[in-house]
Structure 1
Amino acid sequence: MRVGQPEFSNANAGAYDHAAGVAERKRQALIRLYEAEVLARICGAGHEVSLAGELQAYPAGDELMDGAGGGEVDMWVAETRFGAPWVVMGTAEDEDAFWREVEADDDLASLGPVRPAVMRRAFFLAERSDGPNCC
């Protein structure tokens, strides 16, 4: 899932709380839309949503940053030295290509990603400038 948050000053805890709250409300809205528009068609049973990890940097590959959302994506996910929920993630043709991209990116490499990466297929939810995009 990709959502944006307003810019804020790191020196202002209230501004951070506001920005984090905006991002969380966007995240929840996308999840509700996905549950109503996609899961309801596929499976009528209830579902539990859980956070697999969070990356507050640009992911490896272009698909998660440039993609419009609204479909499935195969992505690599690796834990970091900081522990849950922090991960490094991205798209690549295979795990070796993923690690090459991670190692070439100073921001991702500085997070201390831990091998191995795990391939996950996920429904990619993304915020658009004109509203949520999931379905």
Structure 2
Amino acid sequence: MKDLGLDPTKIFVATIDANPAVLHKIRAGEITVAVDQPCPFYNPIAVYYMAKYLEEGESALPKVGTTVTADDIDISGNPHLDTDIWAAKTAWSPAKISEREGHLWFQTNALVITKENADAKYLWANIEVPGW
């Protein structure tokens, strides 16, 4: 936009995925909003339901048409690199359960990132990783 003489702070810009460069541009006002997947929560959710399935059978899986919330699944862990990515209990919630191509689809909520929450420590892109 700058090459075209446009001021990115005056134009609504949205994007998908909130990597470190995107968060930097959100803070600078060059990107208005990013929608990010709650990727860190996918594995704990999958492991939770896999264990339930193995212990209790298919009837333990959520039913089509229901909604699963953070109150239904305890996802927690130890801080890593001084960050507790599990702190945002509702980052993935609510999740709607539907059917897609003959299988259950656990459709998590997305994270909407703006200037107000771009510095949140639970965002994976804010974790300081040496050498990254």
More helix by share: 1
TM-score normalised by length of structure 1 = 0.27
Larger CA Rg, structure 1 vs 2: 2
TM-score norm. by structure 2 comes to 0.27
